[in-house]
Amino acid sequence: MKKKINKNKISILITNFNKDKFIKNCLRSCLNQTYKNIEVILFDDCSTDKSLSIIKKFKNINILYNRKKKYNSGPLNQINGLQKCFHKSSGDIIFLLDSDDCFRRNKVLLISNLLKRNSKLQFIQDTPYSTKDKKRILIKKKSNNYSIWPSFFPTSSIAMKRRFFKKFLKFINSNHYPNLEIDARIAIYAHLTKNFKITSNCLTYYNYDETGITSKYKKFTPNWWKKRKEAFQYTKFLSKRLKLNFYAGPDYYLTKIINLFFSTFYKSYH
């Protein structure tokens, strides 16, 4: 039976794993939106802290429980959870939200209005506010064309029309690239399909969690370079599927060389 989609409903999809320090504010920010026709669907991925006891106190939260992690990879488990949430959702506009982040009260109203008023606009990110640094997170303008994907914000800044997300999921390749999170994949897809858009409106509160997925990818560490290699591999995969030319510039070859160095170094000492 085909799912009935509500043109006026907004779906907020959340994945959670051991975020009991943040989850209350996260869910409050969803339920206190000025736009009221909202469904919140949360996938809890085997939390062992107090998350679930907190979540269960909230009404109108559709909770999906996972009893066993599917992958030995944070990014792949996040993608799996968001896919499960999406298949349960019925909103025509989709917002993604990490369970350690929050929305401003008018975010859903402002962003959904932008998407509804512009038929060509399929995907958008707002500019997040870092609660750690107490300022907006800014993206530096690129001074060259070496990188083949856009600079993008974290997952909680992403909103899109349902049909865009549904098409993207056909290309997500969710069993591969264990270090590549959904924000990178969807930003690359949006860029290649000429749908990438950022608004300067600051509507998301971003919390850096030292135990979160991104904590293991400090800049220029081996894991960071490995993740970068996977981003190129995914871009190459997408380009082929979308019948686009893949540009292998200097950054691509530098990344290959450095990953080869780390791989050789690791084998030499183990």
Question: Distance between CA atoms of 177 and 196, rounded to whole angstroms?
Answer: 22
End-to-end alpha carbon distance in the chain: 54
Identify the pLDDT of residue 215: 77
Q: Grade residue 83 by pLDDT with cuts at 50, 70 and 90.
A: very high
pLDDT per residue over 119-158, tens digit each? Answer: 999 999 999 999 999 999 988 766 555 568 899 999 999 9
Identify the pLDDT of residue 96: 98
Q: What average pLDDT does range 154-173 have in this prediction? A: 98
Question: Distance between CA atoms of 196 and 190, rounded to whole angstroms?
Answer: 5
Identify the pLDDT of residue 87: 97
Identify the pLDDT of residue 6: 84
Q: Phi, psi at residue 57, to the nearest 5°?
A: -75, -15
Q: Grade residue 183 by pLDDT with cuts at 50, 70 and 90.
A: very high
Q: What average pLDDT does range 40-51 have in this prediction? A: 97
The helix-helix angle for 182-192 and 222-241 (nearest 10°) equals 40
pLDDT at 4 over 90: no
Identify the pLDDT of residue 147: 65
- Give all domains of the chain, ordered by start, each with its CATH number: 6-211 (3.90.550.10)
* Type of residue at 251: D
pLDDT per residue over 236-270, tens digit each? Answer: 999 999 999 998 888 999 999 999 998 887 665 55
What Å distances lie between residue 261 and 12, 22, 250, CA to CA?
42, 39, 17
Beta bridge partners of 42: 14, 63
Average pLDDT, the chain: 93
Identify the pLDDT of residue 265: 72
- Tokens linked to 230: 């996977």
Question: Distance between CA atoms of 59 and 49, rounded to whole angstroms?
Answer: 20
Share of the chain above pLDDT 90, in %: 82
Beta bridge partners of 198: 125
The pTM of this model reads 0.94
Identify the pLDDT of residue 1: 56
pLDDT per residue over 185-237, tens digit each? Answer: 999 999 999 999 999 999 999 998 877 777 788 888 999 999 999 999 999 99
Identify the pLDDT of residue 269: 59
